[in-house]
């Protein structure tokens, strides 16, 4: 496959990408999805910074998730919260599942090094926050999806089939402990791998990988310029894979950090209004995704999300757009 359904394998930290949609059949009726990659420190396990240590703590994480859930409630919008499953375990549960938090080499380094160090220091802030699951569940209308067990990248060039199966088996064990029915999957780092193993684990669909603008400064510059594109479009359907629905990748919400702060709010608003209008007009899918911790220290990110949700709600209320979770999308007729 090409375009939004595949891409070159990169191990660099995930960042949202945008680009022209590929050709393909459209589902009937415009659709809008919000998905969130819920990771804590697991998402940056191989490149933790002083910022992560300072801010990825229960108090600030809970504040960010509350702000998002309150915003979704005001607009009556369901979302898919894709959690790293180990993040949902309390410290005792993590110890009980210690054999599943297995050492695994990725690009020559043990993926669990930072977690092991935190365990030794008896400081699991940012590695364990089961209160977030309680918060999401209490809202009543959101999907709890899966973002892996320890956020291990599952690209076939990086890990073995047995590594991937162990991660997905561990996800199932956490689901049983927490009473979850996991239906959709968001690949860690957006690196797809072993879809047959994912299908065998019972998932009905997964989020496609966004298109890549390339590596290095050139790639970052292209991604930044895409944020200024007022003619960005919604995405058509992807072909199914391994018997699962492939959810259009969507676009990363412009995180107000670093050079992205140079993108005016009005430019982000124009871009997303066009994507949403295009979905409503063509029957394609508008999909926006972000990390909840992106709004910690960057409140402009939440404001931009509110702009998007406001327009999506108007289109929904006008009967032009259906707002759904990833699980709803997979269950809907093609």
Q: b/e string for 40-55 if b means 16 or more Cβ within 10 A?
A: bbbbbbbebeeebeeb
Q: How far apart are CA 60 and CA 296, in angstroms?
A: 7
Biggest CA-to-CA distance, the chain: 55
Residue 4 lies in a domain: no
* pLDDT the model gives residue 16: 40
- Mean predicted confidence (pLDDT) in 30-59: 96
Once rounded to an integer, what is the mean pLDDT over residues 207-218? 79
Q: Is residue 19 part of a domain?
A: no
39 versus 264: the higher-pLDDT residue is: 39
Cross-strand bridge partners of residue 235:
285
d(CA 57, CA 40): 8
Predicted confidence at residue 222, as pLDDT, reads 78
pLDDT at 191: 96
**Angstrom distance (rounded) from CA 317 to CA 324:** 14
Identify the CATH number of the domain in which residue 66 sits: 3.20.20.370
CA 308 – CA 312 distance, rounded (Å): 6
Structural domain boundaries, residue 86: 28-331
For residue 248, tell me if it sits in a domain: yes
Cβ burial 199-217 (10 Å sphere, 16+ → b, else e): bebebbbbbbbbbbbeeee
Specify the pTM.
Answer: 0.90
Percent of the chain with pLDDT over 70: 90
Q: Evaluate whether residue 226 is within a structural domain.
A: yes
pLDDT, position 213: 67
Domains held by the chain: number: 1
Whether residue 6 is contained in a domain is answered as: no
Residue 10 lies in a domain: no
Tens digit of each residue's pLDDT (9 = 90 or more) over 140-167: 999 999 999 999 999 999 999 999 999 9
Asked whether residue 206 is domain-assigned, the answer is: yes
pLDDT computed for residue 257 by the predictor: 75
Q: Does residue 18 lie within any of the structural domains?
A: no
Q: For residues 281 and 260, which has the higher predicted lDDT (pLDDT)?
A: 281
- Burial class from Cβ neighbours inside 10 Å (0-12, 13-18, 19+) for residue 317 reads exposed
For residue range 66-120, what is the model confidence (pLDDT) as tens digits?
A: 999 999 999 999 999 999 999 999 999 999 999 999 999 998 999 999 999 999 9
Q: Are 33 and 253 in contact (CB under 8 A)?
A: no
Portion of the chain with pLDDT greater than 90, in percent = 79
């Amino acid at each position: 496959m090409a375009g939004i359904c595949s891409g070159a394998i990169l191990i660099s930290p995930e960042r949202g990408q945008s680009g022209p949609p590929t050709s393909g059949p459209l589902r009937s009726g415009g659709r809008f999805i919000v998905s969130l990659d819920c990771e804590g420190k697991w998402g940056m396990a191989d490149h933790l910074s002083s910022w992560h240590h300072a801010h990825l703590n229960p108090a600030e994480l809970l504040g960010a998730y509350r702000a998002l859930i309150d915003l979704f409630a005001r607009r009556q919008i369901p979302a898919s919260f894709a959690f790293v499953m180990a993040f949902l375990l309390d410290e005792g549960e993590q110890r009980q599942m210690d054999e599943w938090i297995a050492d695994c080499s990725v690009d020559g380094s043990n993926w669990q090094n930072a977690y092991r160090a935190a365990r030794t220091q008896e400081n699991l802030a940012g590695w364990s926050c089961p209160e977030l699951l309680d918060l999401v569940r209490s809202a009543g209308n959101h999907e709890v999806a899966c973002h892996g067990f320890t956020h291990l990248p599952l690209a076939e060039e990086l890990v073995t089939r047995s590594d991937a199966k162990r991660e997905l088996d561990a996800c199932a064990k956490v689901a049983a402990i927490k009473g979850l029915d996991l239906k959709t999957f968001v690949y860690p780092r957006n690196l797809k791998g072993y879809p047959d193993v994912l299908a065998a684990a019972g998932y009905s669909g997964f989020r496609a990988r966004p298109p890549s603008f390339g590596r290095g400064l050139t790639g970052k510059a292209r991604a930044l310029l895409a944020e200024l594109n007022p003619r960005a479009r919604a995405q058509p359907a992807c072909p199914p894979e391994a018997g699962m629905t492939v959810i259009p990748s969507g676009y990363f919400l412009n995180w107000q950090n670093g050079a992205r702060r140079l993108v005016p709010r009005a430019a982000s608003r124009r871009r997303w209004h066009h994507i949403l209008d295009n979905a409503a007009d063509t029957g394609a899918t508008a999909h926006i995704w972000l990390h909840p911790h992106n709004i910690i220290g960057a409140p402009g990110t939440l404001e931009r999300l509110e702009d998007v949700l406001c327009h999506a709600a108007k289109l929904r209320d006008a009967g032009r757009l259906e707002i759904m979770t990833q699980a709803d999308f997979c269950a809907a007729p093609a």
